[in-house]
Structure 1
């Protein structure tokens, strides 16, 4: 049996470390439950009395973070171009974390999405998972008349990916254990793009970064973007979002 229901949570503007700990708690509880359920199933196969089964929960978290740089396991610390004094000057912090990918910036005006999903409830294919998240962002941008797509060989969502004007509008980095996901995507809605100049975004030094505000020439209602993206994620994954 698959659980297609997903509990939605909007954490608002939250310190990155606090959000990371809350995310880890949800992720760890789901992984632990999956382990317990698997052990019960094996016990039943070995002749134990069957117990009432519990389905693994799914979560979809939206939030924003104060200025922060995060470095994935495959990244290079040298891709952050600020030292301690520079971080303090720009009111930013830095954390190495346990997702894939290189260095990423988060800040106010950027919509961060953390899907904590048991992919056994949907499909067990991490590449399809990433492409599905990308498609939800692409569809969201289309609501605003922004044509977006993919850049071959890279994750995330791009504009003009087929020419020299290629620029990234949404970065992605995920972790997956026992098919439970955490981390996710960073979607530049009204983000301050100056902060991307203090790093080599995702280790790519020859491509630009953009935002919806920059592309449209005016700030965008981030709450409206949330509603549209939430709907598109539900459609792409075939999930029922609660809340």
Structure 2
């Protein structure tokens, strides 16, 4: 089992271009797995972890309801935002500047073949990272992602998640609000859940900005611990 993960920080990159790149890496892993089965071979599969920040974009998961987008085409243009229907789970979410988006593209045969456990580990990575900033983050029953003040009238989501998996290969991932412009969430019903707020790390800490590179380092540290993985950073 290959527990080595190649870390790529793509910087600011268009959502569609990044989606295409994810699909390319995803297909590369699948092709090796299919070849191994057909030829009774044992070629090693690769694992990747992409960090990226997207320009303003709304994405709708395959089970989502388009009515949860509260803007028409002209209003999207006015906001400088794009919109895509995509092949992950979950409903609608927003990506934009000040948000750390992570796309683990893993062959779970190298780790464990359990999607439920995979999602819980992604959530735990966020929870452990936020704990380092003095925030008690937690899961909300029946709602994937990471929240603050669950079970109170002040419940608010700080990290959204949505993944796709095929033959135990994953893509898409999580979006952690660090220095996000929360006004863009007013244009959707986030994740299709009414009546719950969205927050960002800088807001919770009462800071103008939080060092995003520092947050990324903490995320990778906890991911490596949970998945018992080793990271190397690739030049992009």
- Using the size of structure 2 for normalisation, the TM-score is 0.97
Counterpart position of 1:25: 24
Counterpart position of 2:147: 158
What are the ranges of 5 or more consecutive residues in structure 2 without an aligned counterpart? none
- In structure 2, distance between residues paired with 1:239 and 1:38: 25
- In structure 2, distance between residues paired with 1:240 and 1:64: 23
Tell me which of 52, 57, 78 is aligned to 2:46: 57
- In structure 1, distance between residues paired with 2:191 and 2:159: 11
Tell me which of 116, 126, 133 is aligned to 2:122: 133
- Correspondences of 1:10-21 after superposition (within 5 Å): 10-21=9-20
1:195 CA displacement: 0.3
1:162 CA displacement: 2.4
Aligned-CA RMSD value: 0.7
- Correspondences of 1:1-243 after superposition (within 5 Å): 2-41=1-40, 53-218=42-207, 219-243=209-233
Task: Give runs of ≥4 in structure 1 deviating > 2 Å.
Answer: none
1:11 CA displacement: 0.3
1:194 CA displacement: 0.2
Secondary structure of the 2:151 match is: coil
Aligned residues: 232
1:192 CA displacement: 0.4
The structure richer in strand per residue is 2
Q: Deviations over 1:66-114 (max 9, x none)?
A: 0000000000110000111111111000000000110010000000000
Secondary structure of the 1:82 match is: coil
Secondary structure of the 1:156 match is: strand
- Using the size of structure 1 for normalisation, the TM-score is 0.94
1:164 CA displacement: 1.5
Greater Rg over alpha carbons, structure:
1
